[in-house]
Amino acid sequence: MPRATSDAKLLIQSLTKAYAATPTNLKIIDLYVICAVATALMQVAYMGLVGSFPFNSFLSGVLSCIGTAVLAVCLRIQVNKDNKEFKDLPPERAFADFILCNLVLHLVIMNFLG
Amino acid sequence: MATAALDFLPAPLRSLRLKTKQQELLLRVSALALIYVLAFAVRLFSVLRYESMIHEFDPYFNYRTTLFLSENGFSEFWNWFDSESWYPLGRVVGGTLFPGLMVTAALLHRLLRALSLAVHIREVCVLTAPFFAANTTLVAYAFGREIWDSGAGLVAAALIAIVPGYISRSVAGSYDNEGVAIFALLLTFYLFVRAVNTGSLAWALASAFGYFYMVSAWGGYVFIINLVPLYVLVLLVTGRYSQRLYVAYNCMYVLGMLLAMQIRFVGFQHVQSGEHMAAMGVFFLLQVFFFLDWVKYLLNDARLFKSFLRITLTCVITVGTLALVIGTASGYISPWTGRFYSLLDPTYAKDHIPIIASVSEHQPTAWSSFMFDFHILLFLFPAGLYFCFKRLSDATIFIVMYGLTSMYFAGVMVRLILVAAPAVCLISAIAASATIKNLTTLIRTKSKSPQVTSGKTTGSKAAAKGAVDQSLPFQHNAAIALLLGAFYLLSRYAIHCTWVTSEAYSSPSIVLAARGHNGGRVIFDDYREAYYWLRQNTPPDAKIMSWWDYGYQITAMGNRTVIVDNNTWNNTHIATVGRAMSSYEDEAYEIMQSLDVNYVLVVFGGVTGYSSDDINKFLWMVRIGGGVFPVIKEPDYLVNGEYRVDKGAAPKMLNCLMYKLCYYRFGELTTEYGKPPGYDRVRGVEIGNKDIKLEYLEEAYTTSNWIVRIYKVKPPKNRS
């Protein structure tokens, strides 16, 4: 048991230390992702309280949060300078793709909201 | 070399001398252009032989809805409630069809009108499928180039242009969902593989749109939403996880799912149906993989990461299985529907759902069908698999999986040979292209004099080939012989495909042709004759009862209300019609009164020898009717398990409504020289009950070859 707790403490310490070293632009994207997922969880909790009618509105709300979170993670992957697979991709192109996908996502959500 | 060959040309043309790259481009573009025209032209046999008309049954519904869409606009179409079919229930057309095909044809029609080409919408509908087949060849070229190289792409385009498995459902006049759906399927797969190869969000977005087009076009989109997650799973299991895969799958899944839910017929199935749960499961699995990958990169320490891995995995697996168990047990996640479950368990439909089992396209495939539809591709397919395994990459793994899964399903149901056709063409193209490339390389290397002594290997390919050439002196000739053999096989393939298209897949089914005694062609146009009689000689609110096969054609061409049609969404209603057809005349009259039936239509082939008539389909009517109404028992109509219509037939068979309507006045007719009157040419026997009297119906119309017979239901007698 003490081995496990000391392991866990060591784990958390090294994680926080390594995370503090990431560049600021990636941290901003991470914050955006966390906000979006938190919004989705709040919507699910609200659905648990009042029921899921109309279902299409609930789905569109949750999926818009999850969708934009996922797209932000994709942007983070493409913009991260340590990623060897994407080193030929200019970050402006990655951001433009992100904006385009978000535009399509939200247009569909607006149609689906009912 | 190329420059010397052109020296005989006059001076101005010599300046057109192209470099090798430009020559190659010219060859490729002209080959693709010819393939495009070929794919369109080979599908035009029935238009040239008969006329430009819509074939079969389902396309008539698609044509009717496209006509409605082009006349009334998209909003009316999307909210259309059709009261002319499934009387008295009606049908919510807007919410129960796949609109992709109709919208595509209406848009093409509008585009042509905008270019001042005033064509009728029927012409556009007839030629939609060949046009999209030609576009599919272009997509196949791009896909082949993505997987292997441009040579394989060209061969794939050529093979898919004429493969009979695809032609069977995309011939001119076959205005059905599959004509457009196969184009959408291949396009989605190509865009997804490109997204995985490049890791770009833009390509993943394009593949999400391709998926949306597929969902709007055909119910077979379930194949995509299961194959792509299976492919991702295989990549994860074989250790090929990469961040390109993450980007591609996530963007395609989320955007594709949202877009797909805009189609009313699909609705919320992506989050509620068991058939779509694999995609969601893989989505969550991919998030876990990405998270673990990122933590591993952050920690940089193997021991700590192992303990972290243990904690996360146990959490994830428990949560996942819990969610799945709760979802399935509480019934929130619906199980696999009968149509798709019968693909996994082929015996399921025969025992439980007779209406699915009765469709001839849903039967298991015979070996001869495979040979008929694929020809040489059957043995090029394993060869292509070998080449793919030799050069494994993300793209080749995909095409191998597509090929193997689609071949399995093609073995279960004849109709699904269509889905396997593009995969088989692509893989065979890899085999053909790689083999021909190797053979031509062998022919083009000069045999060098041995500069290299026997023991040394310089590592250069030419020297090694020189050494090999030394040991096998006839290699050059053998390569030429093999190359000639390959070209012979490909030419036989082309001949076979053209023959198959001309003989087997170009019949309109609504117009029948046969050879007369003197060898001349005889055309039977009875179906259209009967529908036009209905259109012109019955009151506009007349209701027609017939078996469900003819429903779409009656509403489209006869413009009258029907009781049941090919949509087969209400099994009880169809069973009621089946019960009416299999009961005695008085019981059937009560059922027809309750349904407000004015006319009854039956199809009878005994005079012409046309074997797809209602007497041959009768046992299915009994089975489907008996499935809902136990008063109809199949053994009542059989004698010792045998289905007979002659003197020895069961008494219930000889007096049921279907028998009476088909054979009314047939006992006086002589159909064949030397046979007694009332000789049924399809069953090959003299009928048992020749003296038929109808009490509640009267004959309204019989077509010139007795194929379609229409009866009027008499109103109830006046009380005296």
CA angle B177, B178, B183 (to 5 degrees): 110
Identify which of B242, B268, B307 has the shortest CB distance to residue A11: B307
Taking CA atoms, B226 is separated from B204, B270, B282, B602, B676, in Å, by 17, 11, 10, 42, 59
Is A19 inside any structural domain? no
pLDDT, residue B467, reads 46
Residue B528 contacts residue B510 (beta carbons within 8 Å): yes
DSSP string, A12-79: HHHHHHHHHTS-HHHHHHHHHHHHHHHHHHHHHHHHHHH---SHHHHHHHHHHHHHHHHHHHHHHHHH
The type of residue at B257 is M
Q: Which chain A residues are Cβ-neighbours of B261 within 8 angstroms?
A: 56, 59, 112
Residue B212: closest C-alpha in chain A: A108
Helical axes B221-237 vs B277-299, angle rounded to 10°: 30
pLDDT, residue B454, reads 42
Chain A with chain B: Cβ pairs closer than 8 A: 93
Is A84 inside any structural domain? yes
The pTM (predicted TM-score) of the whole model is 0.89
Q: Do B199 and A71 touch (CB under 8 A)?
A: no
Is A8 inside any structural domain? no
Identify which of B202, B255, B307 has the shortest CB distance to residue A105: B255
Taking CA atoms, B463 is separated from B474, B477, B479, B699, in Å, by 18, 20, 19, 88
Return d(Cα B424, Cα B398) in angstroms, integer: 13
3-state secondary structure of B474: coil
Token duo for residue B651: 């008494």
Residue A100: closest C-alpha in chain B: B202
Residue B441 contacts residue B455 (beta carbons within 8 Å): no
Q: Which chain B residues are Cβ-neighbours of A101 within 8 angstroms?
A: 201, 204-205, 251, 255
Is A79 inside any structural domain? yes
Domain ranges, residue A44: 24-112
| Chain B residues interacting with chain A (CB cutoff of 8 angstroms) | 199-202, 204-205, 208, 242-244, 246-247, 250-251, 254-255, 257-259, 261-262, 268, 271, 290, 295, 297-301, 304, 307-308
What interface predicted TM-score (ipTM) does this complex get? 0.94
Residue B93 contacts residue B83 (beta carbons within 8 Å): no
Is A10 inside any structural domain? no
Q: Which chain B residues are Cβ-neighbours of A71 within 8 angstroms?
A: 201, 250-251, 254
Interface test with B, best of A33, A63, A106 (most B CBs within 10 A): A63
Largest CA distance in chain B: 118
Distance from CA of A7 to the nearest CA of B (A): 7
Residues in Cβ contact with B440 at an 8 Å cutoff, skipping those fewer than 6 apart: B479, B483
Domains and CATH numbers, chain B: 22-432 (no CATH), 523-713 (3.40.50.12610)
pLDDT in tens, B103-135: 999 999 999 999 999 999 999 999 999 999 999
Is A9 inside any structural domain? no
Residue B261: closest C-alpha in chain A: A112
Count of domains observed in chain A: 1
Distance from CA of B209 to the nearest CA of A (A): 10
Is A95 inside any structural domain? yes
Distance from CA of B224 to the nearest CA of A (A): 20
Distance from CA of B243 to the nearest CA of A (A): 7
Interface test with B, best of A3, A11, A19, A62 (most B CBs within 10 A): A11
Q: Do A74 and B250 touch (CB under 8 A)?
A: yes
Interface test with A, best of B242, B246, B251 (most A CBs within 10 A): B251
Is A44 inside any structural domain? yes
Interface test with B, best of A22, A52, A59 (most B CBs within 10 A): A59
Point out the residues of chain B with pLDDT beneath 70.
1-16, 349, 354-355, 446-473, 720
Return d(Cα B342, Cα B353) in angstroms, integer: 10
The model's confidence at residue A98, banded by pLDDT at 50, 70 and 90, is very high
